[in-house]
Amino acid sequence: MIRLPGPRRPRSAAAPASGGAPGAAAAPPAAVLDPRAIERLHELDPTGSQGVVERVLRAYQNALARQIDEIDAARGADDSERLSRLAHTLKSSSASVGAVRLSQLCAGVERALRTQPPAALGAEVEALIHEARQVAAAVRAILVV
């Protein structure tokens, strides 16, 4: 089930039927995913008939999994340009789904890469990957894959 704060709890088609397992998501999703962002997604599809929230989150999930690997690879290859582009893309898509902290980390890395090589940003990139994994887990928890 998709955990959502706020007044409206839509009978989302995206909401997995397996509901009623709040404890399953140990990590508090609110910490990595801003509920207001999810709410905005719902507003795009108020009746839920288009399954917008699920579609977006699945797309994000797929992209995120791929991007984590790519970022890891780019870091290893010291490929500044590739790393920068990945950070840029992840920055905006993360913001869209409410992964605010991840988006900020991406922005930081993107900005730092303009002046520094990837090698100098080991910690920041590590933090980014870490956060990305947290977000992936949170999304997975929502979607109850």
Partner 1 sequence: MSPAAPATADDRTREKPRVLLVDDDEVTLMLTAIALRERGFQVVECESGKRALEILAETTPDIVVLDALMPEPDGFTTCRLLRAMPGFENVPVLMLTGLDDDASITRAYEAGATDFFVKSSQWSLLDGRLRYLLRASRTRLELERSKAKLARAQDLARMGSFDWRGQGRLVLSGEALRVFGYPPAESTGLRALLRMVPAEDRRLLVRMLRDATKRGSVFTTDVPINLWDGGERVIHVEAEPEFNEQGQAIGYTGILQDVTDRRVAEDKIRHLANFDALTGLPNRRQLIWRAERALDHAKRMQHQCALLLIDLDRFKVINDTLGHHSGDELLMEVARRLRGCVRHSDQVLDGAYELGGLRSHRSLEAVGRLGGDEFVALLPEVADEHDADRVAQRILEVTREPIFVGGQECFVTASVGVAMFPRDGGTVADLMRNSDVAMYSVKGTGRNAAAIYGPQLAGRGREKLELETALHKAIERNELVLHYQPKIDVRNARLIGVEALMRWQRGGRLVAPGEFIPLAEETGLIVPLSEWAMGEAARQARTWQQSFGFAESIAVNLPSRLFERSNLIDHIHHCVTTQGVPHRVIMLEITEDNLMKDLQNVIPALHRLNEIGVEIAIDDFGTGYSSLSYLTTLPISELKIDRSFVRDLGVSPQSSAVVTAIIALARSLGLRVIAEGVETLRQMEVLHRLGVVVMQGFLFSRPVAPGDLESWLDQSVRSRAAPWIGQATELEAAAEHPRAVSGRV
Token readout for 42 is 């719902």
Do 105 and 120 form a contact (C-beta atoms < 8 A)? Answer: no
Site string for partner 1, 72-91 (x = CB under 8 A): -------------x--xx--
Cα–Cα distance list, 96 to 18, 52, 93 (Å): 26, 13, 5
Which candidate, 86, 35, 38, places its Cα nearest to that of 64? Answer: 86
User: In whole angstroms, how close is the CB of 46 to partner 1 at the nearest point?
Assistant: 8
60 part of the interface to partner 1, by CB under 8 A: yes
Angstrom distance (rounded) from CA 11 to CA 53 = 12
What's the min distance (Å) between Cβ of 126 and partner 1?
23
Stretches 2-10, 15-23, 34-42, 133-141: which one binds partner 1 (CB under 8 A)? 34-42
| Contact set with partner 1 (CB under 8 A) | 37, 40-41, 43-45, 50, 52, 55-56, 59-60, 63, 85, 88-89, 92-93, 95-97, 111
